[in-house]
Chains A and B, each alone.
Chain A
């Protein structure tokens, strides 16, 4: 029986972090090919190629300089070479590169391969709707695509802090395999077949985190913030029900739901951005560059796409929190509307 071949596409800090788990796990498994190719976008660092540095020192000096990779992770500068023999393709690249990457890979990967997206974010569809990254990969590469979400701070996993993740995978026969590939003693993974729900949860939380940040900026108290988080949670449920029907409530209790939301609302960059937005009164576009250079804050743009989707169905008033957060982002409504919204939101959802 052939061993299962795993590859990683991407070499940023998230990809590098997860590469350590993957490298160790395949090395310890009789079912898996011990060498894992990692596609690295070639750059010259201090006069040397990044792939060479990684393959000789096992350190990704550019993105994770304090972190040693297992020696069975082999950096490759060619994405087709990385992926062509793989049974499991792990995607961990910025969302903007997904389309071009898939185009390069089309027809070059095994037809039986299975993708796993670790990518946060989504694409803006032609009609302004959210297109999930897993859907893009599936459509373009014609292979199934699972998702791994639920851990939004790569450095905490790298530090071996105890962290939970959720894998959304529609095919039960991959459950155990995917769990075995990613897990570690400190990174606990639960697999569910509710894949769309897993992915959309981790997207919508950015909107809620933005709302929670607004509450922090206005110096509202803990109770009010908890009210925003709860209402956001309910609207997430309702949103999934309308746009991705068939999801299960239990999925919201997984790491991709409750834990991700909590971390986002207390620690994440959307929260920080929103807080500064309220306190300084500066436009979001300016604050983004100052506060979180190099990262696109997903809160405002997610709020916009969500709003477009809701308007199309005439449902904006059934999602008062999502709607008011969008309107605050674009300056259509004053901040005070945030609490007003909680006050009058309907409960009978």
Chain B
């Protein structure tokens, strides 16, 4: 195919707009990409004017990324199929609950050899319970391969041009280079790994751990305790991937999507912040979402719930005491104070107890 690679960004929120700055600039600069990048924008009226018109005239997403210019080759399109129909690469960056519906609209309307990449952090609920990875949903619905991009990437910091790293998980090696070229920037370092499921699962599970870190902050238990929760959280993430998505490499957890994203989320993210307030204010998560997040949903608590469902099914709750305790605290089955008691006898600490008695 001598044609240039067409790129479409499905989504125009905060993260979608931040990434559009990079993708747009790369598409304009690199010969292998078609310069014009379409961005599907859910049409809304801002002060009586259509958001797509504002973006196409002023090159600013005044609603979700105010104060940043998008490259002029990023074109806002209000029709999903219109935006996506010619694309060779579809970048999905919308709230995860929209995915099944979007995929239905796109089915049969996109190029059969297109590939997708999901920037969506979170899981969907699988039918009958448990978690369904967003990339799997996209692949299942659209019958195209789907890579993922996850990392320690706060949207506003990326838009500001602050340096950060990210991880692309892509099972098919042959797409690695084109995806890296599309996202890599001077301030945005991309590492591509093949362990796509692990990358995506990390992106979701870290929000559970961040709730635990927030509880520790709220209880004022100190830095070492918080570090212990982060570490035990990481160990449970690794074990979870091992049980439900076997075959991953330990080194993937050293990528930005693993350790780095986990740490940033446990110190900076909103799951941590709301969880801290959950302890100090005594309000419910829903009340705090209204007060602190304008009604937006936290990802940690629902992820903890789905994960708990999966663990229960496999009778593995006691092997994941941190995830289990966080879920129970979020749902008021346990008090935040009980967190430490739940992880005191973590399987991680028990390894040596099978050793013989201390006779020298």
Contacts and interface: CB of A to CB of B under 8 A. Distances in A.
B234 A163 contact: no
Interface in A250-274: 250, 253-255, 258-260, 262-263, 265-267
Contact of B227 (A1, A157, A234, A263): A263
B349 A190 contact: yes
B228 A233 contact: no
Contacts of B360: 4, 87, 112, 173-174, 177
A152 interface: yes
Nearest to A257: B231
A220 interface: yes
A140 interface: no
Contacts of B259: 229-230, 233, 258
Given A87-B360, A226-B264, A172 B355 contact: yes
B222 A258 contact: no
B256 A255 contact: no
Given A162-B340, A255-B231, A260-B227, A342 B165 contact: yes
Nearest to B192: A347
Contact of B164 (A29, A226, A265): A226
Contact of A162 (B165, B228, B234): B228
B254 interface: yes
Contact of B154 (A177, A180, A222, A230): A222
Given A233-B254, A258-B259, A176 B353 contact: yes
A295 interface: no
A226 B256 contact: yes
B260 A164 contact: no
B168 to A, nearest CB: 12
A233 B351 CA distance: 24
A233 B234 CA distance: 15
Given A220-B163, A263-B224, A226 B356 contact: no
A224 interface: yes
A45 B175 CA distance: 71
Given A161-B221, A173-B360, A259 B227 contact: yes
Given A173-B360, A220-B163, A339-B163, A226 B263 contact: yes
12 contacts: A151-B224, A161-B222, A162-B225, A164-B224, A177-B358, A221-B157, A223-B158, A224-B157, A233-B259, A250-B250, A258-B259, A262-B227
